[in-house]
Amino acid sequence: MTSALLGTLATSIFIQLCGVLSGVVMARGLGPAGRGEFASVILWPGTIEGLVDLGMVASITYFGAKGSPREVLGNTIAITLAQTVVLVAGGAWAVSMALSGYGDGTVRAAQIYVVAMAYTLWIEHGLAFLNGRMRFRSFNGLRLVAVGCSTGGVVGLAIVGQLTVLNVVLMMTLVALATLGVTLVVVWRTGEAHWRSDGRLRQQMLLYGVKVYPGHLSGMFQGNLNQLVISVALAPAAMGLYAIATTLAAPIGLLGTTAMLVVIPAMARAGSPAEQRLIAGRVVRLSLWAGALVVVLLLLWVPGIVELFFGARFPAAQHAAGLLLVASILVNTSVVLVAVLKGLNLPGVASKAQVANLVITAIAIAALLGPFGIEGAALAALLGSATNCLALGFVVCRALNMPAWEILLVQMSDLAYLLAQLHTVLRSIARGRVAALPTRDDGSPR
């Protein structure tokens, strides 16, 4: 698990850096209004894709770790085909309605991006299968290819003076298509690719996805609801300012996202409740306090960071960014807690807590957005995140029969663990090796 976590963390760091670079380039090139328009263009198709997914990413990961890989993959193909039809058929109409207040060019760009999301749906399911099989090198390599190419495309368009919303969308659609091709090749070369569909397993996968789905929607809307409302209720410039605030807070999420990708298969394969408790407690503690440390450091420099990277046109994003940074600690921890529950095959329990969070966030947005603008939206996100994190923490402690302090307070064994892993990494670097430990593609020791 150690080498997989380190490799996935390194990949997530690279992805977040690419996201920040793209955000900086687009903010400077498009300005607040243009950046807000682009955020709306990619936000609505991405949300529709999340609605269509039905929680299958988590389901494929879970059953890929436990079930027969060929049957899991066969069922994944059948399910994804049906979802693609729904996404393409309904997505173009849905974005035209959602963005009716924007110009025709914006709507057209969003409809093109629906196609990119159809490609992305297949990519995500392929990655989920590789993740479940613990083929972390292939999994992380594909993530690097997609994000690296998209970031390179944004930078290239800026250099040649062709950075427009439509050009970026076209570039991202082509990158998604190319990444899909590579993903299909990688999955096929695992030797586990086969059209073998099993009705009973498909039913189990769909049932798991349905259990995850309410929590999946809650998690998605927790991050997107504010922006969806802002894109409809406020001017594009306000959307651009809020997008910059979310860009500053986004890197904190890499800790939780990285842990989530490894924790679900690790918890599903754990041999005993004691091993599950050890994995869950350590990952939650380290994610919580690592995120808090980074946020404290960033809060001291928010005004300077905004002006340095995004220019003098975005000072109004500073207060919202500060609130979202604090909320990101709780969001980061909640992601890990949800992953623990999914790994315990308790997706429905996680979903209930996440739905409650969504309701609280929606009420807070309705009350705060009008009087306080984007700062009100950020405060609503903070309130919802706090509620969600507390509820999930309570549920995890009950499920694993562990006291609250065990997931809150860093223990001496954690420090010893970190020192041991640091020693391993440094020794590997000194020997000129890429990974912290020599592993096969599936993450197991050689």
Q: Is the pLDDT of residue 283 over 90?
A: no
State residue 195's pLDDT score.
64
pLDDT of amino acid 119: 95
Task: Please determine, for residue 297, whether its predicted confidence score (pLDDT) is greater than 50.
Answer: yes
For the range 312-319, what are the long-range contacts, defined as Cβ-Cβ under 8 Å and sequence gap of 24 or more?
313/31, 313/32, 314/27, 314/32, 314/240, 314/241, 314/244, 316/241, 316/374, 317/241, 317/242, 317/244, 317/245, 317/248, 317/374, 319/375, 319/378
- pLDDT of res. 249: 82
Radius of gyration over every alpha carbon of the chain, rounded to an integer in angstroms: 21
DSSP letters along 131-199, please?
HHTT-HHHHHHHHHHHHHHHHHHHHHHHHTT---HHHHHHHHHHHHHHHHHHHHHHHHTTT-------H
Identify the pLDDT of residue 376: 93
* Residue 228: predicted pLDDT: 87
Phi, psi dihedral angles at 439 (to 5 degrees) = -140, 160
Q: What is the mean pLDDT of residues 98-122?
A: 92
- What pLDDT, on a 0 to 100 scale, did the predictor assign at position 157? 96
Give the Cα separation of 213 and 206 in Å (integer): 10
pTM above 0.75, yes or no: no
Rounded (10°) angle between helices 347-372 and 374-400: 160
Q: Is the pLDDT of residue 426 over 70?
A: no
Give CA 423 to chain center in angstroms: 30
Instruction: Write out the H or E segment, with its range, that includes residue 433.
Output: none
Average pLDDT over residues 439-444: 39
Q: Is the per-residue pLDDT at 64 higher than 90? A: no
The residue whose two tokens read 């050689």 is: 446
Question: Per-residue pLDDT averaged across 148-168, rounded?
Answer: 95
Give 190: exposed, middle or buried? Use CB within 10 Å, 0-12, 13-18, 19+.
Answer: middle
Q: How confident is the model at residue 324 (pLDDT cuts 50, 70, 90)?
A: very high
Separation of alpha carbons 433 and 45, rounded Å: 41
Q: Does the structure show a pLDDT above 70 at 439?
A: no
Out of 54-68, 107-121, 319-333, pick the least confident: 54-68
Instruction: Say yes or no to pLDDT of 434 above 60.
Output: no
166 Cβ partners below 8 Å, 6+ apart? 105, 108, 109, 112
Of 209, 205, 231, nearest in space to 102 by CA: 231
* pLDDT at 24 > cutoff 70: yes
Residue 105, pLDDT > 70, answer yes
- Which residue shows structure tokens 């997706």? 347
Decide: 239 and 33 in contact? Cβ < 8 Å: no
Q: How far is the first Cα of the chain from the last one, in angstroms, to the nearest whole number?
A: 13
- Per-residue pLDDT for 88 more than 80? yes
C-alpha distances in Å from residue 33, one per residue of 319, 334, 389: 19, 32, 34
> What amino acid occupies position 126?
G
Give the distance, in angstroms, between the CA of residue 42 and the centroid of all CA atoms in the same chain: 15
Helical pair 56-66 and 253-269, crossing angle rounded to 10 deg = 40
Q: Are 50 and 220 in contact (CB under 8 A)?
A: yes
Percent with pLDDT over 70 in the chain = 89
Do residues 368 and 236 make contact, with C-beta atoms less than 8 angstroms apart? no
Average pLDDT over residues 107-124: 95
CA atoms within 13 Å, Cβ hemisphere of 290: 21
Average pLDDT, integer, range 185-208: 80
User: What distances in angstroms separate CA 293 from CA 8, 64, 114, 140, 299, one per listed residue?
Assistant: 20, 35, 38, 26, 10
Average pLDDT, the chain: 83
pLDDT bin (cut points 50, 70, 90) of residue 168 is: very high
Cα–Cα distance measured from residue 243 to residue 284, given in angstroms and rounded to the nearest whole number: 28
Each residue of 49-63: pLDDT tens digit?
A: 999 998 899 899 888
d(C-alpha 98, C-alpha 128), whole Å: 30
What's residue 149's pLDDT?
94
What would the mean pLDDT of 73-98 be, rounded to a whole number? 91
